[in-house]
Amino acid sequence: MGQAPQPLSSLRVVEFTHMVMGPTCGMVLADLGAEVIKVEPVGGDHSRRLTGAGSGFFPMCNRNKKSIGIDLHSQEGAMMARRLVATADVVVENFKPGTMVKYGLDYDSLAKVNPRVIYASHKGFLPGPYEHRTALDEVVQMMGGLAYMTGRPGDPLRAGASVNDIMGGMFGAIGVLGALIQRGITGRGMQVQSALYENNVFLMGQHMLQFALTGKHPAPMPARDNPWAVYDVFTVKDGEQIFLAAVSDPQWLAFCDALDLADLKADPELGTNNQRVAQRSRIIPAIGARVADRSVTQLAQAMERAGLPYAPIHKPADLYDDPHLLATGGLADVRLSDGPKAGHTVKAPLLPFTLDGSRLEVRMDPPKVGEHTLDLLKSLGCTEDQVRDLLRKGVVA
């Protein structure tokens, strides 16, 4: 594989973002080759300092970007930011409604100066009755049905990743790409809006339509009406777990052969999928008892030989040793810019697609705060004396 194309290499993006959703949009555009300039407070994006479950936010979402630190609360800082965005093709932001208006960095203000600008806003909700609510991924998962569908009955549970933040940023990037094509036709930019809640509702579309078609509320996934009898997680030797499935009549026969279940294969009450679904309460325990003393490796090999669906239950850390990811270059080195491991190199997943047969690579590590401030200010016409003065006054970092 050669170097992947960079279709956005002539594009300048200025982003005012933090946490996950806005930075994800910027990362997608940056990975596609755009020059993405992250405008941070002079003390840096607070996501740099998160610990625990938030410690991976910044290094995951801010590769291939430049950093400039600007104090938007100062008049000089806001003016400098406006000078910077005047050079932008795209502006990305994910602050609460009204924030950007205070600094003259909202879409209406910028479009008057630069009608070609594309402005991608990432919010909790699209404009409407909820737009001023404070939203988090967990908030919209709870109110948007995802937590209900993920947890056991009566026990709503958020998904195990920032699914709405990440997909909301992806949808924002998709909107930007569409707006760029439209700008190529009309010469004018536009505002793109993406939101956590509406993203979550989109994820729930299949279950909404299931209700519309059947008149029955979909059961949460752990208690769902399963259309297949064998579609479950089994605990096996040494307490390891593996997901096994057989989703058609031919797969059922192959499943029984692969796992030495001749008696179940010959049972006339299990000949069709619907018969097996009706007998699921006895099939699953029977299979569980028969595989309990086998290892995950043994079962995986048997399922692999038979061409059947299976999956060992992995933790996120296990993915670092995944042979497929390692063989296909799905993980790339990233040098950490913050925290107790600053300067260390770790591996991070790349965008999950190829262009011209190649994965989009990490060209720049996540930046240090203000790593590119000097060069960017000079490109805006500032002299070294002016830059030193702005640094001394804390207007920039």
The string of DSSP codes covering 20-41 is THHHHHHHHHHHTT-EEEEEE-
Which of 261, 289, 316 is the C-terminal boundary of a domain?
316
Structure tokens at 381: 């016409």
What confidence score (pLDDT) does residue 1 get? 55
Query: Is 35 part of any domain?
Result: yes
Residue 348 β-bridge partners: 332
pLDDT single digits (tens) 15-70? 999 999 999 999 999 999 999 999 999 999 999 999 999 999 999 999 999 999 99
Q: Do 348 and 230 fall within a single domain?
A: no
Structure tokens at 283: 């099939």
Structure tokens at 325: 């990811």
Interatomic CA distance for residues 218 and 274, integer angstroms? 19
Q: Using the CB atoms, write b or e for 195-213: b if 16+ within 10 Å.
A: bbbbbbbebbeebeeeeee
Q: Grade residue 224 by pLDDT with cuts at 50, 70 and 90.
A: confident
Q: Grade residue 226 by pLDDT with cuts at 50, 70 and 90.
A: confident
Q: Do 16 and 80 fall within a single domain?
A: yes
Looking at the 3D structure of the chain, how many domains does it have?
2
Q: Do 84 and 19 fall within a single domain?
A: yes
Query: Is 122 part of any domain?
Result: yes
Q: Do 140 and 279 fall within a single domain?
A: no
Which of 316, 341, 376 is the C-terminal boundary of a domain?
316
Answer yes or no: are the C-beta atoms of 78 and 100 closer than 8 Å.
no
Taking the CA of residue 215 as centre, how many other CA atoms within 13 Å lie in the half-sphere pointing to its CB?
0
Query: Is 218 part of any domain?
Result: no
Summarize the confidence of residues 305-327 as an average pLDDT: 97
Q: Do 280 and 339 fall within a single domain?
A: no
Query: Is 29 part of any domain?
Result: yes
Answer yes or no: are the C-beta atoms of 146 and 221 closer than 8 Å.
no
Q: Output DSSP code: residue 217.
A: P
Percent of the chain with pLDDT over 70: 99
Vertex 30, ends 29 and 33: CA angle to 5°? Answer: 95
CATH code of residue 109: 3.40.50.10540
Range of the domain at 287: 226-316
Query: Is 217 part of any domain?
Result: no
What confidence score (pLDDT) does residue 3 get? 83
Q: Do 135 and 34 fall within a single domain?
A: yes
pLDDT single digits (tens) 141-172? 999 999 999 999 999 999 999 999 999 999 99
Q: Do 311 and 349 fall within a single domain?
A: no
Q: Do 45 and 186 fall within a single domain?
A: yes
Interatomic CA distance for residues 132 and 39, integer angstroms? 24
Q: Do 188 and 255 fall within a single domain?
A: no
Q: Do 171 and 82 fall within a single domain?
A: yes
At 227, phi and psi to the nearest 5?
A: -75, -10
pLDDT single digits (tens) 361-394? 999 999 999 999 999 999 999 999 999 999 999 9
Query: Is 216 part of any domain?
Result: no
Is residue 345's pLDDT more than 60?
yes
CATH code of residue 303: 3.30.1540.10
At 287, phi and psi to the nearest 5?
A: -65, -45
pLDDT single digits (tens) 64-91? 999 999 999 999 999 999 999 999 999 9
Query: Is 2 part of any domain?
Result: no
pTM: 0.95
Which of 263, 282, 316 is the C-terminal boundary of a domain?
316
Q: Do 200 and 232 fall within a single domain?
A: no
Query: Is 5 part of any domain?
Result: no
Q: Do 132 and 193 fall within a single domain?
A: yes
At 97, phi and psi to the nearest 5?
A: -55, 135
Answer yes or no: are the C-beta atoms of 331 and 359 closer than 8 Å.
no
